[in-house]
Structure 1
Amino acid sequence: MIDVLISFISVNGSPGVTTAAMAMTWVWPRHAVVAECDPTGGRALSVFDPDGRHGRTGVFELMLQARAMPLHRAMSSQLLVLPDGTGRHHLLPGVNALREAESLDWRRLTSLFLDLETVDVLADCGRFRSRATPAAVLSEADLVVAVVRNCRGSLQTFAKAVDVVREEHGVFDNEGLVVLLADPEPRTHQRYPAGEIGRELGLTIAGTLPWDPASAAQFTDRHRPGRKFETSPLLTQARKATDEIGRRAMERMSWLRKPPPVVNGHVR
């Protein structure tokens, strides 16, 4: 089965892109890699390897090793198995500094993601239009998921940015760009109905992640989950969003990568 590449972005602030990408990889039904492609740096290595037993590992080291060995082999040496008990979900840590991100060949790395067989890649691309944004990871993705906080300010900012996203990456259409809502702190922000938001934006709302700071911290602070982590509101909703996002990514991938028709022995 061919793999899919799904890229996660935000357009303002920090609405939970890393949490969304990590949580969905954690519950992904197939083999998957969460790749930290945020040019401002990755944090997951310190979460899952706080003692530094694995040393420096990640996307920058992958590209360095690829100078002396095939890219696929270099990647396998840079992956960490996520401790979810399945053995089929991995982490590719991000860069340590912006200068590393600026030196990376993102197009070559994207080709690697697309060439993987039976391994889906969920790429955390951070904030859209930030310095050194990995444009290739976005423009070549089978599906782009915009993580938007469900509050007035974030929704207004995203609504203004949708056209810019589409213009800068022409492959983004209503089928290729979906929204994943992240609920805000309920005591300080008003939330809006997902259906209403979808109609206003003209985009599909692929799911909603609840306000669950204790569970989110397991992906952004230090991973020390309690007994109820697997049934937490965050992972419960992530599973639902995964079903919808995975289905849409597979459908669009089949359309994007469909071989051209052959007529009279010639490719049209």
Structure 2
Amino acid sequence: MLIAFTSLQGSPGVSAAVSALTWTWPRHAVMAECDPTGAQAMDVYDPDGSHGRPSVFEVLAQARSLPLHRAMSSQMVVLPDGTGRHHLLPGARSPREAESLDWRRLTDLFVELDTVDVLADCGRVRAGGAPYAVITGAALLVLVVANSRNSLRKLVSTLDVLREETGRTGDTMGLLVVDPDPRTHQRFSHREIAEQFAAEGLPMVGWLPWDPAGAAQFTNLHRPSRRFESSPLLTTARKVADEIARRAVCHVR
């Protein structure tokens, strides 16, 4: 099952959100870095480079002599969550490398994986080089938006265009709201946001809290404390992961 995550603009926290959801996913899962701007996760989990340089680019390079699924397995890194069920597939190392990837072939591979769910971090949907094959081939497309006036207004004004660009209809799209710093942004109630976008035909799949300490474990350097597993981010992410998985199953092709 393939689920794609993307944002419209800015940096609402797509990578941190996908990382937290993969970490708490109820099934075997792979976080696939498909952001065309380049990979970041290995700098978080392996800053010393002890795992070498695995990447989605190497998947296709090795697939010249190996079956595609075996090539993918050779490039995955086990996430240090203690379960052994969650993995990372590092992304391209640069925008130029991302442009050379056969995203359609990779999408077909992601979709064919029966026992593993792929959570694809696709960056910004309207950015140059966006992996539209992944975005359009996913069972569910999750739009990540910051809980701020500007971000929500922008999404309302461009939602119809996004549907046309991604070929999405009905509830094959979902909205994930990320709360920003309350000191610098006016935030809205989650119920109000859910009701507003339900009227627009975009169901809200959940929200993630403002938790800079928890998010830093996925975006800066992974050195978690004992309280990490009970952090606000992971506590909420577990509930959101269950909801997204439930909705995506209904649309598996």
The correspondence for 2:181, drawn from 181, 185, 189, is 185
Measure the CA separation in 2 of the matches of 1:48 and 1:161: 35
Deviations 1:7-58 (A, max 9, x none): 0000010100001100000000110000000000110011111110111111
Alignment of 1:229-244 (within 5 A): 229-244=228-243
The alpha carbon displacement at 1:194 in A equals 2.0
The correspondence for 1:122, drawn from 106, 119, 123, is 119
Unaligned runs of 5+ in 1: 258-268
Measure the CA separation in 2 of the matches of 1:107 and 1:160: 29
Number of equivalent positions? 250
Measure the CA separation in 1 of the matches of 2:166 and 2:41: 28
TM-score (norm 2): 0.97
Alignment of 1:211-226 (within 5 A): 211-226=210-225
Contact 2:7–2:123 (CA under 8 A) maintained in structure 1:
yes
Counterpart check, 1:99 vs 2:92: no
Root-mean-square deviation over aligned CA pairs = 0.9
Unaligned runs of 5+ in 2: none
Contact 1:33–1:122 (CA under 8 A) maintained in structure 2:
yes
The alpha carbon displacement at 1:161 in A equals 2.2
SS of 1:8's partner is: strand
Q: State the one-letter code of the partner of 2:178.
A: A
Counterpart check, 1:22 vs 2:19: yes
The alpha carbon displacement at 1:138 in A equals 0.5
The correspondence for 1:47, drawn from 33, 44, 49, is 44
Aligned to 1:265: none
Measure the CA separation in 2 of the matches of 1:251 and 1:7: 15
Contact 1:194–1:205 (CA under 8 A) maintained in structure 2:
no
Contact 1:174–1:204 (CA under 8 A) maintained in structure 2:
no
Counterpart check, 1:76 vs 2:86: no
Alignment of 1:114-193 (within 5 A): 114-170=111-167, 172-193=168-189
Contact 2:12–2:144 (CA under 8 A) maintained in structure 1:
yes
Aligned to 2:31: 34
**Rg larger in structure:** 1
The correspondence for 1:88, drawn from 85, 89, 106, is 85
Contact 1:195–1:205 (CA under 8 A) maintained in structure 2:
no
The alpha carbon displacement at 1:196 in A equals 1.9
Aligned to 1:197: 193
Contact 2:55–2:93 (CA under 8 A) maintained in structure 1:
no
Measure the CA separation in 2 of the matches of 1:221 and 1:142: 30
Measure the CA separation in 2 of the matches of 1:100 and 1:198: 38
Measure the CA separation in 1 of the matches of 2:231 and 2:176: 18
Q: State the one-letter code of the partner of 1:174.
A: G
Measure the CA separation in 2 of the matches of 1:21 and 1:164: 24
